[in-house]
Chain A
Amino acid sequence: MGLVLVGLNHETAPLPVRERVAYSRDEAVSILQEIKAWVPQALLLSTCNRTELYALLADPSDLSRVKERLFFRKFQGNGSDSYLYERMNADVVRHLFRVACGLDSMVLGEQEILGQVKHAYEISRQAEMVGTLFHRLAEQAVHVGKRARTETEIGLGPVSVAFAAVELAEKVFQRLEGRGVLLVGAGENGALCAQHLLARKAYPFLIANRTLERAEALARDLGGETIAWEDLDAALTRVDIVVATTGAPHSIIQPEIVRDAMRKREGKPLFLVDLAVPRDIDPEVDRIQSVFRFDLDALKGVVETSVTRRRKEVPAVEHLVTDEVEGFMRWWDGLASGPVIRDLHHAFESVRVHELEKNLKRFKGDDREQLDVFTRNLVRKLLMSASLELKEQKDGDPAAMERLAAVRRIFRLDAEDDQDEGDSSL
């Protein structure tokens, strides 16, 4: 029996191949149930950038059947073994932990993967393919992923131009809830940026476009209000954020308009995002107090800074992953019959010694020695049948592993810090 990973990701397989093996929730549940005969426990992680099966295989020779069901059947002649990678045992744990930390993602340190690992765990539970090992594996993966993002800066800073604009706006206004947004032009980039702002409950949302029909279409899609092109100047007093993205050959928002608006705004900050080339907002507005203007170059600068910073954090996250993999492997090794018997005897022995010391004053000289021999024999005899039964458990048998894990739980054989390590938010 062994822990195996087989899968592909954005680095090993092109999008057309990844599309074929992307599993929806229902498909994932049904394929897991299909392979249950060979795989007692498994986790199927399927996102737009990866499809990976983490599996506990009773017989390693079954791996080819699993690959056939999960991948080759779906490739339909358009894929080959070269797209797939495989890992075994500790390397599987390391891989999942790295994935959870966002180290293996297309966008380094991205947050969504943690939710996707939780989702994969839910699917496995639904398919009844989660045992002690996989519960702990998924739990630890989420725990490591959270640690990476709280103890390092791997997940900090925006990694797209649209997010950069949102982060900058939050550095000015803190909360965007209730902040008005004016979208000037109906370009795709502007709409994407506006979507991010609306997701943070920015309100009201006004759209101005030379062609009213396009503005109205966008207003229907995103849920905003259109205004006439001529009312643009007046709108600057109604909103706090302006996103400009027209195809105009000259600037539309001039310093005089902004200066006039700032007078009416009584000094309240105005945040201007210019996504257009050539630029829609005259850079001269930078001279006006409490006006914050950012064009594409400035936003790209923010993105580059945060990407560089995330890269610098990789060694620290790798170090964290190594620590956690070692901890996990120690816990897993403890699930064999030998360590369970040893720890069980230690636990009983420590209770015996504790009770003996507590009551020693009540006995004298020879009695103390006899008491020691008597209690030692008592503990040995009490544990004899349990030890024999535990010895019978075949290491590597998934059912035996569950029984051994149950013994560890019942007698609390794991150190307190080990028990607390997992993340209960799964």
Chain B
Amino acid sequence: MIDVGLFIRVILLFLPVLYGVTLFDYILIFTTNDARARRLARPLLLSALIANVVYFLAFTFYFEHLPFVNVFQVLGAIGFSIAAIYLWVESRARSPHTGPFILALVLVFQVLNTVFPKLDREVPQILRSTVFNLHVSAAILGYSSFAVAAVYGLLYLLQYRVIRTKRFGLVFQRLPSLDILDRMNLVAASTGFVFLSIAIVAGVWWSHVVFGGVQVDPKVLVAVLTWVIYGLSIFGRQFVSWRGPRMAYSSLFGFLVILFSLFAVNFFMTKFHVFVS
């Protein structure tokens, strides 16, 4: 008989290793463009993602809830979602050279998830609802998209600087054009904006069902602030000159606010958004 609990622990330990090996392969591609590393890249990333799905399924069936309860589990889920989004982006863009930057973020999130595990069945009853799951899933997808937008924003600024200072080295050669990076940033930020909107609506709805009204706490305020920042930068682009470096900076700023909301607000300020002691 397989000990499912042990299996979940082992696979949780293996996830950072798998993502780490994949990241190493992508770094090798970026620095040397090695043909063997290029052939290995997608199978490696795909196997890490499959292992992650197996972990989610095993966890959900064994502990009887989705592994999205505390902040580290949410980060792990965001990491998975970013890696999946990246796999899709790479198959569209046919270039693996933004991989190291995206996957480095994935690895950090996955390491945090493994180092601070929460493997038990204790979940407050109020969290066992479809609307709550919709709220969390939408928030995870939204935050993942914003993370991808932030990485593309950062890469935009890097390539922008390299071109303007005329340093035509590896970064210039490997990174996509500014136009592509700008558009990637916009697509990712817009996708994130849609998901964050869904998460806010679902959160308000769930709050009405459970508490009979909207609960306002720092995290809710920060989420609304994030929503406003991205909304302004996306719509600002349509009407005024909010493109290029400005768009890149606003994506980075938005993501910093998200990280602040996930860590600082969760640990020090909020009462309502912490459900597990």
Contact = CB atoms under 8 A, between A and B. Distances in A.
Contact of A301 (B166, B179, B241): B166
B246 interface: yes
Contacts of A157: 173
Nearest to B245: A289
Best-buried of A268, A269, A286 by chain B (most CB within 10 Å): A269
Interface string B174-197: 001111100000000000000000
B195 to A, nearest CB: 27
Given A157-B173, A294-B166, A298-B166, A172 B179 contact: yes
A309 B244 CA distance: 30
A294 B173 CA distance: 17
A297 to B, nearest CB: 9
A290 interface: yes
A110 B229 CA distance: 48
Interface string B123-167: 000000000000000000000000000000000000100011010
A346 to B, nearest CB: 32
Interface in A112-164: 151, 153, 156-157
A309 B31 CA distance: 13
A172 B177 contact: yes
A269 B33 contact: no
Contacts of A151: 35
A171 B172 contact: yes
Contact of A267 (B159, B164, B178, B241): B241
A337 to B, nearest CB: 38
Contacts, number: 52
Interface string B27-68: 000000101000000000000000000000000000000000
A292 interface: yes
B168 A301 contact: yes
Contact of A286 (B164, B176, B245): B164
Interface in A147-197: 151, 153, 156-157, 168, 170-175
B243 A268 contact: yes
Contacts of B276: none
A151 B32 CA distance: 11
B6 interface: no
B2 interface: no
A266 interface: yes
Nearest to B243: A267
Interface string B249-267: 0000000000000000000
Contacts of B1: none
Contacts of B242: 267
A171 B166 contact: no
Contact of A156 (B173, B178, B241): B173
Given A156-B173, A267-B241, A290-B244, A174 B179 contact: yes
Contacts of B180: 174
B165 to A, nearest CB: 9
A162 to B, nearest CB: 16
A302 interface: yes
A201 to B, nearest CB: 15
A265 B159 CA distance: 21
A172 B163 contact: yes
A156 B168 CA distance: 13
Interface in B224-251: 240-246
Nearest to B242: A267
A88 to B, nearest CB: 32
Contacts of B245: 289-290
8 contacts: A156-B173, A170-B177, A171-B159, A171-B163, A172-B179, A174-B178, A267-B241, A301-B166
Interface of A: 151, 153, 156-157, 168, 170-175, 265-269, 286, 289-290, 292, 294, 298, 301-302, 305, 309
Interface of B: 33, 35, 159, 163-164, 166, 168-169, 172-173, 176-180, 240-246
Given A171-B159, A268-B243, 16 more contacts: A151-B35, A156-B173, A171-B177, A171-B178, A172-B163, A172-B178, A173-B179, A174-B177, A266-B240, A267-B241, A267-B244, A269-B244, A290-B245, A292-B163, A302-B168, A309-B173
